[in-house]
Amino acid sequence: MRKKEWKVVISFHTTAEAIAMEAACREEEVPGRLIPVPRQISSGCGLAWAMPVEWEGDIGQWMREKELHWDSFGEYLI
C-alpha cells in the first residue's frame, strides 16, 4: 500500500476542465497528476489534480491566469 502524503487536490466540474489542467501543467512543468477524486471530496467529473503541497507557486492565481476552472481545492492526506 502506498504511504499517504499531504497533497493539494483540485477537483473539476467536467472532464474537459481536468484534461485542460493536465495539459497546462505538463506544458509549464507544474508537478502533479490526475487522480480519481478522493472520497473526502465530491466532484462533478470524478477526476482531480493532485500536487505536492510544497510547490512554491500560488496554484489558484496560476489557474486564473491560465483561465482554468475548478470546482474546489484544498489540502488532503491521500
58: containing domain: 6-77
* 60 inside domain: yes
β-bridge partners, 48: 11, 35
Fill in the DSSP letter of residue 52: E
pLDDT in tens, 9-63: 999 999 999 999 999 999 999 999 999 998 888 767 899 999 999 998 899 999 9
| CATH for 55 | 3.30.70
CA–CA gap between residue 75 and residue 77 (Å, rounded)? 7
The predicted model scores a pTM of 0.92
Determine the 3-state secondary structure of 17 from DSSP.
helix
* 46 inside domain: yes
Which cell is 15 given?
472532464
- Please report where in the chains the cell 493539494 appears, as a residue: 8
Number of domains the chain contains: 1
* 50 inside domain: yes
